[in-house]
Amino acid sequence: MTKATTNKLMTTKLTVTAMLTAVAVVLQYIEVSIPIVPSFLKLDFSDIPELIGSFVIGPLWGVIICLLKNLIHLPFTGSVGVGEFSNFILGAIFVFVAGMIYKYNKTKKGALIACISGALAMAVLSIATNYFIVYPVYAQLWAGGDMNVIINMYKALLPASDTLLKSLLIFNVPFTFCKGFIVAAVTMFIYKPLSYMIVKMNNAFNKKKMS
């Protein structure tokens, strides 16, 4: 690959990254409450541009989009950065796992397997991040260190969720997996025409189509 081609490829990747980051920032402000989970768990679609970036220009770029999105959102947060940290960690896991699998199996079936695997990895690892980092910090900041304040919000929905671990397993893991699945479904729907547009914009991209 010549230097000119390499520069052209990098320029296109940076341009696409900037565009997708801008879309992700906007989507991060559009949140949907789900009645069957505590009110502080909200669904947003800001992982869609990250997943598209991971598929089109590579998994590391998907992680970069996720990082930039949360850094831009940081000055406007009400979570003292904890929400952004959690969003970045889980989003990065999702798009990196999915992107790596798709990188070596660029078919429609490969994309589906990649998305499900990424969503599953994100859901499972959310147990550790929430249990050891996110919820203890939230408890210190807004509940005087009393974790029962948070647990009681879960118990109001289901009395059996009387410990933090139970609450995470019953509510957060299914919620996180479903969020990943919804993001994946939307991405699968719009990825093909969008990727064709990007390929047409710069022929440096891999032109192998999703079969």
Query: pLDDT of 40-52, one tens digit each?
Result: 888 999 999 999 9
Q: pLDDT band for position 204 (50/70/90)?
A: very low
For residue 4, the model assigns a pLDDT of 66
Contact 73, 84 (CB under 8 A): yes
The total number of structural domains in the chain stands at 1
The verdict on residue 5 lying in a domain is: no
Predicted confidence (pLDDT) at residue 178 exceeds the cutoff of 90: yes
Q: Is residue 196 part of a domain?
A: yes
Q: Stretch 170-179: mean pLDDT, rounded?
A: 96
Q: Is residue 35 part of a domain?
A: no
Please, which pLDDT band fits residue 64 given cuts at 50, 70 and 90?
very high
Count the Cβ atoms, other than its own, within 10 Å of residue 6: 11
Q: Compute the distance between CA of residue 66 and CA of residue 14 in angstroms, rounded to an integer.
A: 14
* pLDDT score of 103: 92
Does 33 reside within a domain? no
Rounded to the nearest 10°, the torsion over CA 211, 16, 55, 124 is -150
pLDDT of residue 209: 42
Q: How far apart are CA 6 and CA 200, in angstroms?
A: 17
**Tens digit of each residue's pLDDT (9 = 90 or more) over 121-165:** 999 999 999 999 999 998 998 888 899 999 999 999 999 999 999
Helix (H) or strand (E) holding 35: none
Distance CA 13, CA 140 (A): 41
pLDDT on residue 127: 97
* Secondary structure of residue 180 in the 3-state scheme: helix
Residue 208 belongs to some domain of the structure: no
CATH number at residue 128: 1.10.1760.20
Is 36 part of a structural domain of the chain?
no
CA distance 84 to 79: 8
Range 177-184 average pLDDT: 94
103's CB contacts (< 8 A; 6+ apart) are 58, 59
* pLDDT cut 90: percent of the chain above it: 65
| Residues spanned by the domain of 102 | 10-28+42-201
Return the minimum-mean-pLDDT range out of 11-25, 50-64, 76-90. 76-90
Q: Which helix (H) or strand (E) holds 2?
A: none
Cβ(54)–Cβ(102) under 8 Å? Answer: yes
Q: Cα(123)–Cα(187) distance, rounded to whole angstroms?
A: 18
- Examine residue 125 and state whether it is found in any structural domain, yes or no: yes
pLDDT of 76 reads 87
Residues contacting 15, CB < 8 A, separation 6+: none
**In this structure, is residue 121 part of a structural domain?**
yes
For residues 176-194, average pLDDT: 88
The predicted-structure confidence for 3-16, as pLDDT tens digits, reads as follows: 766 777 888 889 99
Residue 56 falls in which region: left (phi positive, over 0), alpha (psi -120 to 50) or beta:
alpha
> Could you give the CA distance from residue 139 to residue 148 in angstroms, rounded to a whole number?
9
pLDDT for res 79 = 78
